Structures are given as C-alpha cells and as structure tokens.
Amino acid sequence: MRQRVVLITGANGEVGHGLIEKLAAEPDPPFIVALDLNELAHDLRPLVNRMVIGDILDTKLLETLTTEYEIDTIYHLAALLSTSSEFNPETAHRVNVQGTVNLLKLSAEQSASRGVPVRFLYASSIAVYGMPDIATKQAAGPVDEDRFLNPITMYGCNKLYCEHLGRYYAAHYQQLAATRAVGVDFRCVRFPGLISAVTVPTGGTSDYAPEMLHAAAQGKKSYAAFVREDTTIPFMAMPDGIKALLLLARVPRENLTRFVYNIASFSRSALQLAAMVQDAFPDTAITFKPSDARQGIVDSWPADINDSAARKDWGWVPDFDAERAFNEYLLPTIKGRYASADSD
C-alpha cells in the first residue's frame, strides 16, 4: 500500500516555509513530501519526510511520485513571481501554466485511481485584477472575486488562467467521456501583498512595504519607495496567509460555494505604512521615488478586496490588522533578526 502524503510544491519559498512549520507542528502531522528546485532550508529539513529536488515541468519526476505515494493533498505554491515573469514572460508561462497543468493532470489521475478527489490548494494573487484607471480604483471600494479581471502582467494572466483551469479540472474534466471523471477538489486563495518578518524582500512588485521596514531595521538613513505616497493595495501578514491555506484545506467541500476566494486583512497607503515605520525608526527618512513601470502595475490592483465569501463559507477571519501585524509580528521579529546579526 502506498503512503498517503501531502505534497508541497515551491516548498522552499516563504509561504512554503511557514506551511511546513505549521503542518509539522500538528498533533498528528501528515507525511510531507516537499518539492522545490533547491534544497530545503537547513532548519526545515527535519520537518519533512522527504525532500525532492526537481521541477514541476518534469513529468517523469511527477509520474514517479504518483507511483511511490498516494497523494491526498497538494499545496501548489511553485511559481515564477511577478517581477521575474515580466522579464521572462515565456518562461513564466511554461512554469506557471504548464507546471500547474502537470499537477492538475496528476491530481485527476490520482483522483480516478483512488476514487476520491485529491484536494488541490492553489495560491493565486491580486495580480489577477486589472483596474482600468486610478479613478475607477478609488471609486470601486472592496472588489469581489468576479470584477475587473483584466490583468496587465504575465504573472496575473497566468494566475487567472490557472484559476479557470482548476475550475475545469474540478467540475468539467472529461465531460464528454462515457463515464464522468471523479474530478479534482480544487480550492484557491487569492493572496494580497504578503509581508514576512522572516524572509528578506526580493524586489517583488508589492515589496515596497517590507523593504522600507527592513531598511529601517538595518539602520539605513534613508529608503526611497518605488511608488507614490498615495499608492494603496491590500496587505497581509504571512502567518495569516498560512492560516488561510490551512483553513480552506480543512473545510468540507459541501460548505464551499465557489472555487476561488479572496482573503483580506488590511489596506493602507504607502504614506501610512511609511509613518508606521518612522514611528518605530525615527532616524530613517522614507521618501517616494516612483518607478513608472512598477507604479503602473500596482495601480492596476484594487485598493481593497472583498473577502465576504471566505468569511461566510469557511469562517475566515485574519488574526492581524495593520497595527497588530506591525507591533506584534513584524517589528519584534525583524528587530530581533538584525540585532542578532549585529552581535555575530
């Protein structure tokens, strides 16, 4: 009998790190298979049962995993992220779309062989949105899952298409076959800008928020944000992002009224975020030097999103608002990180 497992793709990313820690800490932790292009961080390696270094485009590798394991749940986090996708759009399409198709096909085959749908958790993004102009963005209020879906980035296009692919594999796969397939239990969260206290920002389109905080904590005298001071998008502390994935994974399918869910926590302007940083680090001057290209991308995302469906269907409530995220999660952890580095 094959071992029943949870497969995490993109396991070595910041969401993957947090997810592994939470799953491993459960009273009855699952058998975790972690898949990534790179070896898992040293401190996380003991928390997984198997580490597979490989590519979601490698269909032979995926086939090998299905022969070795009964895959019960997939957390599909692997992706080429927004900024990298703009510089390498065709590569992004291969990784973000074909990689997802490979995993959905794997899930469909596993679902058919065991007669029970594989639970497939997909990490999407507010990049799927495309507000036509600033006036519309300001007037729209919190945007629900089904409006303004006209992304202007390759990453956003990839994510939106994969949401539809997930719905297809869940509800319409092999719809012309004599016998309908079992289908995949596809569940998707659209993340806002995620802010982690543990990992250093890497130049993502929403990274102006964590960048200003990390720069100040490092003792830098100034930081120039690459957006206007009135730039507003929704954000979320990383622990809430992990919480949402785990909550959605566990709710009974019959409770869910849709396949894709917004999740929200707090929405603040760049100026408001800068004021919070400067209150904590008054010696750091934060200025605004917009990059036209990146500003245009951020302007295409909603100022706020409506997550009422997630709250109603599966009891979603964030633990952190802006103040709690800053004072109880970000500040203590980031200060401790750089204080420790200074003492080494």
In a domain, 243, yes or no: yes
Percent of the chain with pLDDT over 90: 90
Q: Give the tens place of pLDDT for each residue, 222-269.
A: 999 999 999 999 999 999 999 999 999 999 999 999 999 999 999 999
Residue 341: pLDDT band with limits 50, 70, 90: low
How is 166-227 classified by DSSP, letter by letter? HHHHHHTTTTTSSS-----EEEEEEE-EEE-SSS---S-TTTHHHHHHHHHHTT-SEEEESS
In a domain, 145, yes or no: yes
In the chain, how many domains are there?
2
Structure tokens at 39: 């070896």
Averaged pLDDT, 184-211: 90
In a domain, 7, yes or no: yes
User: Are residues 135 and 170 both part of a single domain?
Assistant: yes
User: Are residues 164 and 247 both part of a single domain?
Assistant: yes
Residue 94: pLDDT band with limits 50, 70, 90: very high
* Amino acid at position 186, single letter: F
Q: Nearest CA to 262 among 197, 308, 221, 325?
A: 308
* Largest interatomic CA distance in the chain: 70
Angle, vertex CA 32, rays to CA 317 and CA 110, nearest 5? 95
Q: What pLDDT score was predicted for residue 217?
A: 93
pLDDT at 61 over 70: yes
CA dihedral 136, 141, 142, 145 (to 10 degrees): -40
User: Are residues 254 and 325 both part of a single domain?
Assistant: no
Structure tokens at 205: 């389109």
Q: What is the pTM of this model?
A: 0.96
Averaged pLDDT, 33-61: 97
Question: What's 39's DSSP letter?
Answer: P
User: Are residues 293 and 337 both part of a single domain?
Assistant: yes
In a domain, 173, yes or no: yes
Structure tokens at 167: 């719905």
Q: Give the tens place of pLDDT for each residue, 11-25.
A: 999 899 999 999 999
Q: Give the tens place of pLDDT for each residue, 295-338.
A: 999 999 999 999 999 999 999 999 999 999 999 999 999 988 88
Residue 286: pLDDT band with limits 50, 70, 90: very high
Q: What pLDDT score was predicted for residue 260?
A: 99
* In contact, 98 and 163? CB cutoff 8 Å: no
User: Are residues 91 and 146 both part of a single domain?
Assistant: yes
In a domain, 147, yes or no: yes
User: Are residues 245 and 216 both part of a single domain?
Assistant: no
* Cα 138 → chain centroid: 25
Q: Nearest CA to 9 among 64, 60, 73?
A: 73
Q: What pLDDT score was predicted for residue 343?
A: 63
User: Are residues 270 and 178 both part of a single domain?
Assistant: no
Instruction: Read off the CATH number of the domain in which 40 is found.
Output: 3.40.50.720
Q: Nearest CA to 162 among 264, 237, 92, 244?
A: 92
Percent of the chain with pLDDT over 70: 99
User: Are residues 213 and 66 both part of a single domain?
Assistant: no
User: Are residues 164 and 33 both part of a single domain?
Assistant: yes
Q: What pLDDT score was predicted for residue 203?
A: 67
* In contact, 118 and 183? CB cutoff 8 Å: no
Euclidean distance between CA atoms 64 and 200, whole angstroms: 34
In a domain, 202, yes or no: no
* In contact, 110 and 120? CB cutoff 8 Å: no
User: Are residues 253 and 278 both part of a single domain?
Assistant: no
Per the prediction, the chain carries an average pLDDT of: 95
Q: Give the tens place of pLDDT for each residue, 135-177.
A: 999 999 999 999 999 999 999 999 999 999 999 999 999 999 8
Question: What's 305's DSSP letter?
Answer: B
In a domain, 311, yes or no: no
pLDDT at 131 over 90: yes
Name the helix (H) or strand (E) containing 300: none
In a domain, 314, yes or no: no
Euclidean distance between CA atoms 117 and 259, whole angstroms: 14
Q: What pLDDT score was predicted for residue 342?
A: 64
Instruction: Read off the CATH number of the domain in which 325 is found.
Output: 3.90.25
User: Are residues 45 and 133 both part of a single domain?
Assistant: yes
User: Are residues 223 and 149 both part of a single domain?
Assistant: no
| Domain of residue 214, residue span | 208-233+266-304+321-343
Q: What pLDDT score was predicted for residue 200?
A: 75
* Cα 116 → chain centroid: 26
